[in-house]
Chain A
Amino acid sequence: MSAPASDRPTAIAVRNVTQRFGDKNSPGMVLALDNISLDVKRGEFVCLLGPSGCGKSTLLNIVGGLFDATEGTVTVAGHEVKGPSPRDISFIFQESTLYPWYTIRENFDVSFKFQKVAKSEWAGRTKDALAQVGMSKFIDHYPTQLSVGMRQRVNLARGIALGTDIILMDEPFAALDEQTRMVLGEDLSELLAKTGKTIVFVTHSLAEAVFLSDRIFVMTARPGRIKSIMEVGEPHPRSPDFMLTPKFSQLRNDLYAMLRDEVRAAIAIERGEPASAGAAA
């Protein structure tokens, strides 16, 4: 990836997004996101990192048009997001969103049907995408016949097959074991370097965030705000050796330092203790 991120056009613009659950004046109101603004450049890989309950998945769903923000706007490809826009944005969720009642091929077909892709393209797109993740052999298997790691490969392939410029990933590797996760991360880095897609990735994992991202948005405990932004500054595709460098460890440690207080604050909120304990004031 040659051009510095700052020179590229903006793919996603989030402006003053606030999300409240419940009535504004009621005591049960939860402020999930508080006045968030951020830009994602075209071709950039961005991570949203934060403690549980900080609203990172909510933010992703707002960007993808699955939720309407209480306040603020999201602009994608020059249009304000008002609902799902399957032509521009696809989601990759955990591997369990493959429909177990369909084979891999049928899962892809149904996705294309939902997205209104011309039928003549279905077979070719499925074949190409599965080949990219090395899963061509399993096209007529049911998802339950595959291991969790294989299923997630298929799921990544489906996201790629949908052919959108933007992919939003909601903790796609959360159900995988550490080792499978690392290998899939490497493959993902390689795949994305080839395609040049814009990615927003939600994760809990510090190592995953550093390994995959161009930039990492660290969020605070509820209500979610952007606490800081970390530049990784390492070209894609990244080899697993990157994880062994001092730079990687340094970034990972810095992230941990930023996140530690927020994680404690999130735990305090879960226990119903006063949120002030360690939260960013």
Chain B
Amino acid sequence: MTDTSNFTTRSIQIAFIAIMVGIWYFVTKTGSISPLFLPPLDSVWATFVRLVQTNAFWSSVRLTLWTIAQAWVIAVVLGIVVGYFVTRSKFLTEVFEPVIASTFAIPLTLLFPLFILMFGIGPASKVAYAATYGFFPVALNTIAGLSSVDERYLRSARSMGASSLDTFRHVLFPAAFPVILTGLRVSFFISFASVLGGETLSSAAGIGKNIALAAELMEPARMYAWIVFVICITVTLNFVVSAIENRRREY
């Protein structure tokens, strides 16, 4: 990508955000939308500024981010291990790949009450739920990545006498890495959404809980302050993940 086209895309993206904010400003200013559904920008901002000065805000944020991190790490480790062993034979791949793929197609949200029953309303139920959901894209992409490694790479490694550990380290893993990375990324955002969703549905604390509470208490400005904060985190994390991906994909 050239610098100019990069500059153009960035400008359009920033303009898009500016327009969204502009629309928000005008529809609330003119009173064409009830402040209960969408409070004015300045009141959301004022609430947000007050919110970030409280300890309760930061302890909620810490709790939620920690929950997401735990869930994601569990999902990644389990997904890669399961993906690796499933691809050790064509037979296992044929048996288990469709099973994992179709389980992933079930809306696992249906099972959320079960997680609450098993793990309580504390963070543990959110970790278990989000790890379960986040496991699937990692496992599926690991299977897809490892089983689509070009046969010629493997044959060439074998002809040079590579051991199976060497083959995994220097051939299988690097060849599958771009596909696995996509799984890690999808899994991360699924874990993120699952933790927040879980907290909104049933929880004692965390960002999701605060959003649900603000809505119940009819405090739209506070609710939007939280939502805007979550959007900011998401955008930042997305940038970080893309930057890592681009660096790894240079070859």
Contacts and interface: CB of A to CB of B under 8 A. Distances in A.
B121 interface: no
A93 B251 contact: no
Interface in B147-168: 150, 152-153, 155-163, 166
A111 B160 contact: yes
Contacts of B170: 99, 102, 110, 113-114
Given A66-B155, A99-B153, A115 B161 contact: yes
Nearest to B170: A110
A82 to B, nearest CB: 13
A101 B174 contact: yes
Contact of B161 (A61, A100, A116): A116
A94 B151 CA distance: 12
A66 B162 CA distance: 12
A93 B155 contact: yes
Interface string A210-240: 0000000000000000000000000000000
Contacts of A93: 152, 155-156
A86 B152 contact: no
A91 interface: yes
Contact of B162 (A96, A100, A114): A114
B161 A142 contact: no
B150 to A, nearest CB: 8
Contacts of B155: 61, 66, 91, 93, 97
B160 A114 contact: yes
A90 interface: yes
B171 interface: yes
A144 interface: yes
B161 A86 contact: yes
A114 B170 CA distance: 10
A116 B160 CA distance: 9
A113 B163 CA distance: 10
B156 A97 contact: yes
Give the residue among B150, B158, B159, B163 with the most A Cβ atoms within 10 A.
B159
B62 to A, nearest CB: 37
Contact of A66 (B153, B158, B163, B174): B158
Interface range on chain A (Cβ under 8 Å from partner): 20 to 34
B78 interface: no
A168 to B, nearest CB: 8
Most buried by A among B157, B161, B175: B161
A90 B160 contact: yes
A111 B152 CA distance: 14
B12 to A, nearest CB: 30
A47 interface: no
> What band does the interface of chain B fall in when counting residues whose beta carbon is under 8 Å from A?
10 to 19
Interface in B120-179: 150, 152-153, 155-163, 166, 170-171, 174-175, 177
Contacts of A113: 166, 170
A121 B51 CA distance: 64
Contacts of A144: 251
A162 interface: yes
A21 to B, nearest CB: 15
Given A110-B170, A114-B166, A97 B251 contact: no
Contact of A115 (B150, B160, B175, B251): B160
Interface in B162-198: 162-163, 166, 170-171, 174-175, 177
A96 B155 CA distance: 12
B156 A91 contact: yes
Contact of A84 (B159, B166, B175, B177): B159
Nearest to B249: A101
Given A113-B166, A144-B251, A91 B159 contact: yes
**Complex A-B, nearest 6 residue pairs according to Cβ-Cβ distance, in ascending order:** A86-B161, A114-B160, A114-B162, A101-B174, A91-B159, A97-B156
Interface of A: 61, 64, 66, 84-86, 89-91, 93-94, 96-97, 99-102, 110-111, 113-116, 142, 144, 162
28 contacts: A61-B155, A84-B158, A84-B160, A85-B161, A86-B159, A86-B160, A86-B161, A89-B159, A90-B160, A91-B155, A91-B160, A93-B152, A96-B152, A97-B152, A99-B153, A99-B171, A99-B174, A101-B175, A101-B251, A102-B174, A102-B251, A113-B166, A114-B160, A114-B162, A115-B160, A115-B161, A142-B251, A162-B160
Given A66-B155, A102-B170, A114-B160, 10 more contacts: A90-B160, A97-B152, A97-B155, A97-B156, A99-B153, A99-B175, A100-B251, A101-B174, A102-B251, A113-B170
